[in-house]
Amino acid sequence: MIQNGANTPLNQNPGTLPNVNGALLNWKQITIFTVVVKEVIGYQVQETLTPVTFNGVVQPFTDRQLMLKPEGQRSWTWNWIHADPSLILNTDEIVVYLDVRYRVMSRKDYTPYGYVEYSIIEDYTGESP
C-alpha cells in the first residue's frame, strides 16, 4: 500500500506542521501597542501604560466574519492581530492602537505554525477588568 500525507492525520505525526512564520515576514511589520493596566491606589484608579513592540499585522474583520457576530455588535470595529508568538496579551485586556482603545476578545495559539492570532474590538465602555 502506498503511504502519503492523505493517510496520516496532522496530529498523528509530530513535527510535520508547516511553520508559516517565514512566509509572513514580508506581511508583518513592527507594531506598537500600549497595554493599559488599571489598579486602585489610595482609593483612586491609576492607569499604567506600558508600550509593547512586536512584529505583526493588524487587519479589520471581513464582512463575512462580521455577519457571524450578534446583530448589535456588527457595527463595532473588530480587528485581527497576527503576530509573532512573543506578543502575549490576555483576554479582556485593554490595548491602545493608533490612539484608539481596544479590548482583547480572544487568543488563538498557532505557535507550532509560527504565529498567534488575537481578536480585538473597539472598547466603547472605557472600563478595564
The percentage of the chain sitting over the pLDDT mark of 70, rounded to a whole number, equals: 69
Higher pLDDT, 14 or 78: 78
For the entire predicted model, the pTM comes to: 0.72
Instruction: Give the side-chain half-sphere CA count within 13 A for 104.
Output: 23
**4-43: per-residue pLDDT in tens?**
666 666 555 555 566 666 766 677 788 888 998 888 888 8
- Type of residue numbered 103: R
Domains with residue ranges and CATH for the chain: 18-122 (2.40.10.270)
Per-residue burial over 38-74, b if 16 or more Cβ lie within 10 Å, else e, is eeeeeeeeeeeeeeeebbbebeebeeeeeeeeeeeee
Average pLDDT over residues 43-47: 86
Read off the pLDDT band of 107 (50, 70, 90): very high
